[in-house]
Amino acid sequence: MVISQLVGRERSNFKDPERIRSKSFELARKFLEQYTRELGSIICRDVQLIRFGRPYYLPDAEDHEKFEKAGGHVDKCPDVVGKAAQLAVKLILEEGLIKPPK
């Protein structure tokens, strides 16, 4: 979302005759490739299988409890989300979409 906010079409120019959205799509694909390379998948079930050795069905109370006991919201999911944020920031800086703070 941040990438599209920085390099996306404006609502007032939604038809986008300049094809600004093409750059946004290109960067989203680049992010997706990096994320998949680092984390193995964009599908939560697959990421759980990689991180926990098994997927969890979170709407089920018993499975949700097992997920939490396995560190779901202690370190596993925060690590995945943190890695995604790190990859997005790295891409944004590499592409010069914002300048790094001094």
- Residue pair 3/27 in contact (Cβ under 8 Å)? The answer is yes
The amino acid present at 85, given as its one-letter code, is A
**3 touches 28 (CB < 8 A):** yes
Could you report the per-residue pLDDT of 45-90, keeping only the tens digit for each? 999 999 999 999 999 999 999 999 999 999 999 999 999 999 999 9
Q: What is the mean pLDDT of residues 22-31?
A: 90
The full set of domain ranges for the chain reads 2-94
Supply the pTM of this predicted model: 0.82
Q: Place 5 in a pLDDT band, splitting at 50, 70 and 90.
A: confident
